[in-house]
């Protein structure tokens, strides 16, 4: 019998649906997870902090498979997973539509001055002129991280008539490589970050990158807060060089109430809500988990496997 530990949050959608030969054991918190993990062959870690995840992997000497719903895996003990040879699968792509919708919403919010429209409604004031007149049509957009989410963002933006250039480690036709984008930042009206959090991407966007951006251009970050040097971001905003920023992620999270980013009129913060802003998140995650559970008990390769050495 294969024993799998699963968060009790998924019990309504999974109970009675697991493949033959799999016994689910449900945990409600980190303490219950740690108490049972030594008997587990696989675990679905959900809403578990980094230290607890590390302890669970360390204790789980039988573990062969670890699953998470998130796309990002920087909170996991990747070194330990790699050392132990535990297969890691994630929710890559499950969040693509929701994050893409949030991205376009953020861009339109800035382009049309929507914050001022909402404030005018709150004041019961009828505006005579639109506060923003920028269009996405014919705008130049750089998507740094053209994976499943970045590709979906690009697909939707092209439907608006935007010209989108993707960046990936192994570029395809019309795309840029991992180092090429820095030399052409001045071409773009919008720069969207959707890269994984790894040592290579830590503060990849700093003073030099902001200085190279087109004056008045906007930064959109749906990667991780650590990808951006926030002091450099503030400096670029305050100097007037950067036209605005839409940040779904910050460093740290939650962002302290007295942090200056909150008070900048052309900075919008969506509190890392984008990936969870969907009705079917659990349904999609459960469907993927069931398919992988079938493969796991059959000894077949799993889908959406993460390379712990690369971090994605």
DSSP state of 275: G
Angle between helices 96-111 and 114-122 (to 10 degrees): 80
What is the C-alpha separation between 173 and 166, in angstroms, rounded?
10
For residues 288 and 291, what is the distance between their CA atoms, to the nearest angstrom? 5
Going edge to edge, which strands form the sheet with 65-68?
22-27, 2-7, 42-45, 65-68, 87-89, 305-306
Helix (H, G, I), strand (E, B) or coil at 258: coil
Q: Which of 46, 152, 168, 224 is catalytic?
A: 224
If residue 26 lies in a helix (H) or strand (E), which one and from where to where? strand 22-27
CA–CA separation, 298 and 117 (whole Å): 56
DSSP count for the chain of H helices, then E strands: 10, 12
What is the distance between the alpha carbons of residues 88 and 67, in angstroms, rounded to a whole number? 6
Query: Annotated catalytic, 253?
Result: yes
Check 15, 155, 180, 253 and give the catalytic one.
Answer: 253
Q: Please tell me whether residue 89 adopts helix, strand or coil conformation.
A: strand
Please, are residues 175 and 165 in contact by the beta-carbon 8 Å criterion?
Answer: yes
Are the C-beta atoms of 211 and 237 separated by less than 8 Å?
A: no
With CA atoms as reference, report the closest residue to 111 among 193, 190, 188. 190
Q: Answer yes or no: 203 catalytic.
A: no
129 labelled catalytic = no
Do strands 42-45 and 22-27 pair parallel, antiparallel, or not at all (unpaired)?
Answer: unpaired
Which residues are marked as active site?
224, 253, 272
């Amino acid at each position: 019998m294969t024993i799998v530990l699963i968060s009790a949050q998924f019990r309504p959608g999974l109970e009675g649906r697991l493949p033959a030969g799999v016994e689910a054991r449900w945990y409600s918190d980190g303490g219950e997870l740690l108490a049972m993990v030594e008997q587990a062959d696989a675990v679905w870690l959900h809403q578990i902090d980094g230290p607890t995840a590390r302890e669970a992997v360390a204790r789980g000497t039988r573990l062969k498979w670890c699953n998470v719903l998130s796309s990002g895996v920087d909170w996991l003990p990747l070194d330990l997973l790699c050392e132990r040879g535990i297969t890691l699968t994630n929710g890559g792509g499950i969040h693509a539509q929701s994050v893409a919708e949030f991205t376009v919403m953020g861009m339109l919010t800035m382009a049309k001055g929507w914050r001022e429209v909402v404030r005018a409604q709150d004041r019961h004031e009828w505006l005579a002129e639109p506060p923003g007149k920028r269009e996405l049509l014919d705008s130049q957009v750089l998507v740094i991280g053209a994976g499943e989410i970045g590709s979906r963002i690009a697909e939707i933006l092209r439907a608006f008539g935007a010209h989108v250039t993707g960046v990936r480690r192994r570029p395809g036709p019309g795309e840029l490589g991992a180092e090429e984008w820095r030399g052409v930042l001045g071409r773009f009206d919008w720069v969207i970050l959707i890269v994984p959090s790894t040592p290579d991407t830590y503060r990849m966007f700093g003073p030099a990158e902001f200085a190279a951006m087109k004056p008045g251009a906007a930064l959109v970050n749906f990667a991780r807060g650590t990808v951006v040097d926030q002091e450099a971001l503030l400096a670029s905003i305050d100097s007037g060089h950067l036209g605005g920023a839409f940040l779904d992620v910050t460093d740290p999270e939650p962002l302290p109430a007295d942090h200056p980013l909150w008070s900048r009129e052309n900075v919008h913060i969506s509190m890392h809500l984008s990936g969870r802003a969907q009705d079917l998140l659990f349904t999609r995650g459960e469907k993927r988990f069931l398919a992988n559970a079938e493969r796991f008990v059959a000894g077949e390769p799993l889908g959406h496997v993460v390379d712990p050495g690369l971090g994605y």
